[in-house]
Amino acid sequence: MYKRLSAILFPIAAILLIGSLVWGYQENQEKNAILIKAENQYQRAFHDLSYHVDRLHSELGNTLAVHSASTGAHRKGLVNVWRITSEAQNEINQLPLTLLPFNKTEEFLSRISKFSYQTGVRDLTKEPLSDGEVKNLKELYKSSAQISKDLQAVQNKVINNRLRWMDVETALASEKEPRDNTIIDGFKTVDKKVSEYPELDWGPSVSSMYNKRSVKKLGGTPVTVDKVKADAARFTGHNDHGAIKVVENGRGTEWASFTAQVHGNQGDVKTLDFTKNGGHLISYSDSRTIGPKSVNVAAARGQAEKFLKDKGFQDMTPVTYDEYDNIGTFTFVSKQGDILIYPEKITVRVALDNGQVAGMQASDYVYERENRETPAKPKLTLEQARKFLNSDYKEKYHRLAQIENDMSEKVTTYEFGGSINGSDYKIFINAETGGEETIEEIRNARQAAPARS
């Protein structure tokens, strides 16, 4: 009997063994193919990064080499600097450096990109490069030479020693110290040198991008946990303070805030975030499950408008609408006189099963409201501004709006909504100069806009 049993089982076991070996071999081959592909991508991104930083140095030199009155050459050079820097930033993002301190170099490249873009797009015939900007370019030329030299040194080690980027990823993921990987050490050296470069005067428009907003910059005295509980109860209509849990976030930092959680009877949780200074509500969300859609856009908009008025947000105008997963999201902006203040925006999410508000984001409104700049009165009339539109543009509505342009400046514009070439657009015309500040394609047919007046 045992002989018969073994005669049957042995071939089966042999087949299974051979099958497992084949499967294991195929799995190993596929794994190796994936690793090789990832390694090739890392190597390509790194060598392209080294090349583009060297090109950046050369392009800065070319821009400085021409006559100070050669505005055309300056513009071309600055546009090339912006393009090359953007490519270098993209290549950094493709490398496994998320766990490695390389932020100083990334920020340095980001500032070069923004500086070259904002300087290059302006009319250099009317506003040529200033002495300060030329000085900046000279410093950037020297700094980029050092970065290029250091990256090429790492590149030579990678090539000569046949170093692998997959080892970098493994080393970064490991919690063991010290890390003695050659590539990691090389990038740390680059970042350390960049952090020691002299601080440049980038101008207010570029610097403002890196002035991180913090709750410390908000007005008002610090609030207490009890005050947050009371405000959360009032906002949600929940009178049981015992069901409200409050935690403080970022104590002792510039980002100190409070998060309040209100637990409902149905197991749902309402979460509210308040700034510590002044106790401003910056976000609200309701965790309840949303059912099938039964509320139309008009009804949802009415509920969102009523919600904002009831919560003390006055003079808010809806400007956009989007819909996803049975939730309608409206963007509202402030209004001063007849001018919409786009930087002061609030987004309201409405559940389309019953029309109740499911969330709100008001951080932009809170921060910008504290530092509002009175909108400048338009120097151009509506008819004068219209002349700057494409003659084929079919206007559907117009209104005055304050926006923040590419130079991080708040400007008063005429907002024209309309269509051309089969697509809908919003075009913002500077109400002082007639220049096109920005153009936005409207991909959602439910764009919130007034009727043409």
Confidence of residue 255 (pLDDT cuts 50, 70, 90): low
Instruction: Report helix, strand or coil for 267.
Output: coil
pLDDT in tens, 405-421: 877 788 999 999 999 98
| pLDDT average, residue stretch 243-269 | 80
| pLDDT average, residue stretch 320-329 | 89
**Looking at the predicted structure, is the pLDDT value of residue 204 above 50?**
no
Give the domain range for residue 430.
382-442
pLDDT score of 195: 63
Q: Within this chain, do residues 16 and 145 fall inside the same structural domain, yes or no?
A: yes
Between CA 122 and CA 43 the distance in angstroms is 37
| pLDDT average, residue stretch 72-84 | 86
Q: Within this chain, do residues 265 and 402 fall inside the same structural domain, yes or no?
A: no
**Looking at the predicted structure, is the pLDDT value of residue 430 above 90?**
yes
| pLDDT average, residue stretch 332-361 | 93
Q: Within this chain, do residues 354 and 433 fall inside the same structural domain, yes or no?
A: no
pLDDT score of 451: 42
The answer to whether residue 115 sits within a structural domain is yes
**Looking at the predicted structure, is the pLDDT value of residue 208 above 90?**
no
Q: Within this chain, do residues 166 and 278 fall inside the same structural domain, yes or no?
A: no
CA atoms within 13 A on the CB side of 210: 17
User: 396: which 2 tokens?
Assistant: 């559907």
Confidence of residue 327 (pLDDT cuts 50, 70, 90): very high
The answer to whether residue 163 sits within a structural domain is yes
Residues 6+ apart with CB under 8 A from 70: none
Q: Within this chain, do residues 411 and 293 fall inside the same structural domain, yes or no?
A: no
Tally the domains of the chain: 3
Between CA 93 and CA 41 the distance in angstroms is 12
Q: Within this chain, do residues 204 and 64 fall inside the same structural domain, yes or no?
A: yes
The model's pTM = 0.64
Helix (H) or strand (E) run with residue 413 in it = strand 410-420
Q: Within this chain, do residues 202 and 292 fall inside the same structural domain, yes or no?
A: no
More confident residue, 223 or 240: 223
Across the chain, mean pLDDT equals 80
Q: Within this chain, do residues 202 and 221 fall inside the same structural domain, yes or no?
A: no
The answer to whether residue 319 sits within a structural domain is yes
The answer to whether residue 46 sits within a structural domain is yes
pLDDT score of 452: 41
Domain edge (last residue) among 346, 370, 394: 370
Q: Within this chain, do residues 49 and 104 fall inside the same structural domain, yes or no?
A: yes
More confident residue, 198 or 69: 69
| pLDDT average, residue stretch 122-142 | 84
CB atoms within 10 A of CB 324: 8
Domain edge (last residue) among 167, 183, 208: 208
**Looking at the predicted structure, is the pLDDT value of residue 205 above 50?**
no
| pLDDT average, residue stretch 114-136 | 82
Q: Within this chain, do residues 258 and 309 fall inside the same structural domain, yes or no?
A: yes
pLDDT in tens, 294-324: 999 999 999 999 999 999 998 899 998 988 8
Domain edge (last residue) among 148, 182, 208: 208
pLDDT score of 249: 82
Q: Which of 354, 364, 355, 341 is nearest to 301 (CA)?
A: 355
Q: Within this chain, do residues 49 and 24 fall inside the same structural domain, yes or no?
A: yes
The answer to whether residue 311 sits within a structural domain is yes
**Looking at the predicted structure, is the pLDDT value of residue 198 above 80?**
no
Q: Within this chain, do residues 401 and 255 fall inside the same structural domain, yes or no?
A: no
